[in-house]
Structure 1
Amino acid sequence: MHHQPNNPLHGITLEQLLTELQQQLGWEGLAAEININCFKSDPSIKSSLKFLRRTPWAREQVEQLYIRLKH
């Protein structure tokens, strides 16, 4: 594994990232920040991960929100 000092997401799985955001903001807060149905309609970590893994633009928005809140 390569060391990536300039990558704030290095070593963090999508599940870890999403779990932290959900604990910090709640589903309503996530839906307010990123307007996607997986956060608004019957949200769960599992269903959101499935959607985000198949939808690169949505995953990128979640990653950028995480970076904004952590740094």
Structure 2
Amino acid sequence: MPTNLSKDPLHGMTLEAIVTALVEHFGWRELGERIAIKCFQVDPSVASSLKFLRKTPWARAKVESLYLFMRREQARAVR
């Protein structure tokens, strides 16, 4: 049995999977309202978002934080 399981909920998640899940859940419009960055508000696409987020640590941190919030809310809804 593996003894070194990661407790990081983002472990194994790609940035593309995170952005795609957020877009599916919130849509581009709400995502752009929740995180006010141009790549979510003006002609949004997963590709342009990934390009920006990979170069901008503070924006990536906000996206990861929103993803974790979304997952917690989904888990609460199931209970």
TM normalised by structure 2 equals: 0.84
In structure 1, distance between residues paired with 2:56 and 2:5 = 27
Q: Distance in 2 between matches of 1:3 and 1:43?
A: 35
Matched, 1:12 2:13: yes
1:53 positional shift: 0.2
**What are structure 1's unaligned runs of at least 5 residues?**
none
Secondary structure class of the residue paired with 2:52? helix
Residue 3 of structure 1 is matched in structure 2 by 5
- Alignment size in residue pairs: 69
TM-score by length of 1: 0.93
- C-alpha offsets along residues 7-53 of structure 1, whole Å, 9 cap, x if unaligned? 11011100001000001111001011101000001000000000000
Q: d(CA) in 1 for partners of 2:9 and 2:38?
A: 26
The aligned counterpart of 1:44 is: 45
Identity fraction in percent: 51
Distance in 1 of aligned mates of 2:69 and 2:32: 16
Separation of aligned partners in 1, 2:44 and 2:53: 12
State the partner residue of 2:62.
Answer: 61
Q: What amino acid sits opposite 2:9 in the alignment?
A: P
Q: Segments of 4+ in structure 1 off by > 6 A?
A: none
Give the letter aligned to residue 60 of structure 1: A
In our comparison, the structure showing a higher alpha carbon Rg is 2
2:43 match: secondary structure: coil
> CA offset at residue 3 of structure 1?
2.5
